[in-house]
């Protein structure tokens, strides 16, 4: 097949769509497919054997309009001779990809990993509701309503929607009225490769959390349990990997609590650096209020780091509480503190969980188990 991938970000940028698109382009190329990638970038990214076409990201005047017009015409040119377009997201690249598909007769597949309207409403302070409450009764300005309309339009007009969890599929059916038969669930995958362990370990013990620093990740609550853990483990440190709009607020919280020496903010790291730190950690924590399917949890399990995570619908498709990890109630900081102390103090149980987690990843979340599913769907859509 000749496949055009459209994505808002691509390495060296970090983030889920960047990592996924780079990995999937490389693996599809190895299987004999012809791959092109259109992405926002101010310099041309490089993947051996893959034609990556950059779209300028920053403009001084009318930036969004000019960027989206440039994206549309770039996709239109890149689609020539291709069998289909696979868009990584419904709004930024999905809408333009769909319009190109309508004009050229190319079939379109879109990947849905999270609701952009809700994420923007939370980041802008326009809602404090959890995702499903928000989708039942949306809050926010006209731009939020516009994003929701764009998402619904794209979902209903593409040939297939791919999601990484049954929870996200349920949301699409319930709140966007997408026909069940149009949606395919393909779990995210990780590569079971060796990672060089970083020489630096920030604390003994050391907990790590990885992700964009946004409100729904609950990193403020995670920081709030550091004093209790430090009472039992004086050298304990929490390492926060990532960047985002909550960075300054979280730094101020650490200052106000007197925890500046106990919480390490690494900022943005590349994927290899992140995995190396993960390999050194004693426990990985995801204290989120929302997850479609947490890729960082799967990576932690793959690199044999014990996991504590909020028991959200997307997360419990990965974690079976007490078997391959530990789940906690969202917002329950006393439970978080107790479970963290429990896992740090029980080496035998930790080893059992890590072993079971690794088997879970091998069984459900490797490229061997998911790439064939994707190929089959894309081939069916391409006809």
pLDDT score, position 57: 76
The percentage of residues in the chain with a pLDDT greater than 90, rounded to a whole number, is: 77
Q: What are phi and psi of 15, to 5 degrees?
A: 135, 160
* pLDDT tens-digit map of 355-375: 999 999 999 999 988 999 999
Are residues 15 and 149 both part of a single domain? yes
pTM over 0.75: yes
Confidence of residue 227 (pLDDT cuts 50, 70, 90): very high
Decide if 197 is inside a domain.
no
Question: Following DSSP, what letter does each residue of 174-189 receive, concatenated?
Answer: HHH---GGGEEE----
Q: Closest Cα to residue 86, out of 146, 180, 3?
A: 3
Cα–Cα dist 33/12, whole Å: 23
Q: Give Cα 124 to chain centroid, integer Å.
A: 20
Report yes or no on 196 lying in a domain.
no
Strand partners, 5: 37, 86
- Does the pLDDT of residue 12 top 90, yes or no? no
Q: Which residues pair with 221 in a beta bridge?
A: none
Same domain, 302 and 222: yes
pLDDT of residue 10: 83
pLDDT at 61: 73
Q: How confident is the model at residue 196 (pLDDT cuts 50, 70, 90)?
A: low
Question: What is the domain extent for residue 309?
Answer: 206-364
Residues 163 and 25 occupy one common structural domain? yes
pLDDT at 201 over 70: no
Which range has the worst mean pLDDT, 21-25, 105-109, 148-152, 332-336? 21-25
279 and 161 in one domain?
Answer: no
Give 339 or 295, the one with higher predicted confidence: 339
**CA–CA gap between residue 65 and residue 55 (Å, rounded):** 13
- Three-state SS for 267-328 is ECCCHHHHHHHHHHCCEEEECCCCCCCCHHHHHHHHCCCCEEEECCCCHHHCCCECCCEEEE
Question: Cα separation of 375 and 363, whole Å?
Answer: 19
pLDDT digits (tens, 9 = 90+) for 13-40: 766 777 888 889 999 999 999 999 999 9
- Over 80: is that where the pLDDT of 62 sits? no
DSSP code for 209: E
Residues 105-126 have a mean pLDDT of: 94
| pLDDT score recorded for residue 352 | 96
Residue 194, domain member (yes or no): no
Residues 151, 157, 160, CA angle at the centre, nearest 5°? 90
**Does pLDDT of 276 surpass 70?**
yes
* pLDDT score of 159 more than 90: yes
The count of structural domains within the chain is 2
Is residue 225 over pLDDT 80? yes
Q: Which residue has the higher pLDDT, 202 or 337?
A: 337
281 and 306 fall within a common domain:
yes
Based on the domain organization, do 276 and 181 belong to the same domain?
A: no
- Tell me the H-state helices in the chain: 16-30, 63-78, 94-104, 116-123, 131-136, 142-157, 166-176, 219-224, 226-232, 247-257, 271-280, 295-302, 333-344, 347-364, 367-382
Q: Are residues 168 and 299 in the same domain?
A: no
Q: Let me know if 234 is exposed, middle or buried by CB neighbors in 10 A (0-12, 13-18, 19+).
A: exposed
Contact 112, 88 (CB under 8 A): no
Per residue in 90-104, pLDDT tens?
Answer: 999 999 999 999 999
Mean pLDDT of the chain: 92
Output 75 or 50, whichever has higher pLDDT: 75
Cα distances from 249 to residues 16, 219, 254, 332, 363, in angstroms, run 24, 10, 9, 21, 40
Res 200 pLDDT > 80:
no
The answer to whether 235 and 203 have CB atoms below 8 angstroms apart is yes
- Cα–Cα distance list, 124 to 107, 212, 300, 373 (Å): 34, 15, 30, 37
- Closest by Cα among 216, 219, 209 to 125: 216
CATH code, domain carrying 295: 3.40.50.2000
136 and 266, same domain (yes or no): no
Name the residue with tokens 């952009």. 116
């Amino acid at each position: 097949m000749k496949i055009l991938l459209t994505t808002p970000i691509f390495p060296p940028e970090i983030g889920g769509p960047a990592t996924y698109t780079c990995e999937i382009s490389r693996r599809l190329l190895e299987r004999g497919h012809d791959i092109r990638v259109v992405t926002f970038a101010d310099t041309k990214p490089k993947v051996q054997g893959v034609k990556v076409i950059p779209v300028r990201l920053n403009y001084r005047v009318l930036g969004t309009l000019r960027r989206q017009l440039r994206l549309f015409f770039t996709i239109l040119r890149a689609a020539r001779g291709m069998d289909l377009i696979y868009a990584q997201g419904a709004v930024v690249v999905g809408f333009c990809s769909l319009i190109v598909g309508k004009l050229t007769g190319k079939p379109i597949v879109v990947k849905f990993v999270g609701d952009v309207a809700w994420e923007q409403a939370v980041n802008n302070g326009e809602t404090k509701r959890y995702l499903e409450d928000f989708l039942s009764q949306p809050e926010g300005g006209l731009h939020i309503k516009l994003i929701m309309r764009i998402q619904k339009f794209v979902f209903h007009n593409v040939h297939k929607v791919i999601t990484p969890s049954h929870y996200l599929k349920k949301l699409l059916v319930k709140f966007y009225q997408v026909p069940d038969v149009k949606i395919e669930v393909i779990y995210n995958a990780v590569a079971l490769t060796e990672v060089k362990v970083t020489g630096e370990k920030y604390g003994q013990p050391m907990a790590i959390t990885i992700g964009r620093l946004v409100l729904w990740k609950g990193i403020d609550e995670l920081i709030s349990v550091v004093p209790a853990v430090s009472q039992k483990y004086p050298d304990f440190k929490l390492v926060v990997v990532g960047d985002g709009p909550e960075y300054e607020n979280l730094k101020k919280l650490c200052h106000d609590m007197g925890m500046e020496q106990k919480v390490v903010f690494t900022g943005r790291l590349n994927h290899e650096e992140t995995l190396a730190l993960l390999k050194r950690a004693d426990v990985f924590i995801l204290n989120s209020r929302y997850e479609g399917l947490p890729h960082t949890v799967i990576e932690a399990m793959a690199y044999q780091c014990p996991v504590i995570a909020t028991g959200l619908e997307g997360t419990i498709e990965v974690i079976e509480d007490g078997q391959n990890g530990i789940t906690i109630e969202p917002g329950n900081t006393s439970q978080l503190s107790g479970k963290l102390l429990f896992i740090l103090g029980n080496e035998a149980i930790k080893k059992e969980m890590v072993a079971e987690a690794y088997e879970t990843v091998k069984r459900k979340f490797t490229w061997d188990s998911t790439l064939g599913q994707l190929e089959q769907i894309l081939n069916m859509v391409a006809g």
